[in-house]
Amino acid sequence: MIRPIVAAGLCGLLLAACSSGPKSDPNDPNAGLEQEIVSWRNDLEAHNPACQKKVGGHGCVSFEVTCKAMQEITPDETARGVTAQVIAAMTYVGHSRDGAEKAGSAFALFSKSAGKWARTEAMPINLRTCAPL
């Protein structure tokens, strides 16, 4: 019973550490991003083929955002109302059909327009630096 509570608390602290500023700051270009990252993680757990095989009641485990970096916004994107962009990489451990552990990673580009974040898949990036491969 204690372990899930501790794990949930640690996840919250890790996400808070990724935030670039106080949540109450309306001028923070990254406000709301942490909730989008949690949504991304939940989508991976629900839809990624590596997460479909359940071992011990779990699909994928050990989710970790390994890099997160602000991206330059082009004039065309500015004209469309984009006010912030962040590229991110997440790693996790899933399972193959026979139950063996299988490392995986996912990449996403988060774009903020009209105060709301949208997520699209991104090409693979360096897991530590967020630089293009």
What is the pTM (predicted TM-score) of this model?
A: 0.78
Q: What is the pLDDT of residue 128?
A: 93
Q: What is the pLDDT of residue 33?
A: 97
Q: What is the pLDDT of residue 46?
A: 92
Poorest-pLDDT segment among 16-20, 47-51, 57-61: 16-20
Q: Are 93 and 104 in contact (CB under 8 A)?
A: yes
Poorest-pLDDT segment among 8-12, 25-29, 74-78, 119-123: 8-12
pLDDT of 16 strictly over 70: no
Give the Cα separation of 37 and 41 in Å (integer).
6
Domain positions in the chain are 30-133
The three state secondary structure string of the chain is: CHHHHHHHHHHHHHHHHHCCCCCCCCCCCCCCHHHHHHHHHHHHHHHCHHHCCCECCECCEEEEEEEEEECCCCHHHHHCCEEEEEEEEEEEEEECCCCCEEEEEEEEEEEEECCEEEEEECCCECCCCCCEC
pLDDT in tens, 17-46: 444 444 447 788 899 999 999 999 999 999
Percentage of the chain lying above the pLDDT 70 cut: 81
